[in-house]
Amino acid sequence: MPFWQRSTESADEIPHIEHDPPCDHSAQQRAPLWTEKEKAMTQPVITREDIFAVIKKNIATVIEGTEGLVVTETASMKDFGADSLEMVEVVSRSMKELRIKVPRTELSKASNLKELVDIFERFAVAA
């Protein structure tokens, strides 16, 4: 007789294994994988100063004759002699570097660099 057909123990001798009662997973509230604090720690924080530094760098790169000039938040790109294409280039490069997306309708509301920084900051937080 093959070994799989041989029985050395009777059914009474086989130990009984207790199982946990079935669990209803759908009723349980699952704990989030990350707390809000942990999420905030994993995402880079972009400060106003960081945003303004990126914009100033791009102004110096794109608009001729602005290297070495003092750029303040109250100034506009028109004050530095920027044409519309240069303004678009500064804004586009800055958004790309900061990894943010801002609708054109929002960008058209900015009349100076402070307002541009405000808009970038608002969309950086929302991202």
The topology under which CATH files domain 39-126 is 1.10.1200
CA dist., res. 48 & res. 85, Å (int): 25
pLDDT for 94-107, tens place per residue?
A: 999 999 999 999 99
pLDDT for 53-62, tens place per residue?
A: 999 999 999 9
Q: Domain ranges in the chain?
A: 39-126
Q: Are 80 and 63 in contact (CB under 8 A)?
A: yes
Q: Residue 45: what pLDDT?
A: 76
Q: What percent of the chain has pLDDT over 70?
A: 65
Q: 4: pLDDT confidence band, cut at 50, 70 and 90?
A: low
First to last CA, the chain: 72
Supply angle C-alpha 118, 119, 121, rounded to 5. 65
Output the pTM of the full model: 0.65
On the question of pLDDT at 3 being above 60, the answer is no
Q: Residue 68: what pLDDT?
A: 84
On the question of pLDDT at 38 being above 80, the answer is no
Q: 93: pLDDT confidence band, cut at 50, 70 and 90?
A: very high
The whole-number average pLDDT for the span 8-16 is 57
Look up residue 103 and give its two tokens.
Answer: 């609708």
Q: Are 65 and 81 in contact (CB under 8 A)?
A: yes
- Greatest mean pLDDT range, 4-13, 36-45, 118-127: 118-127
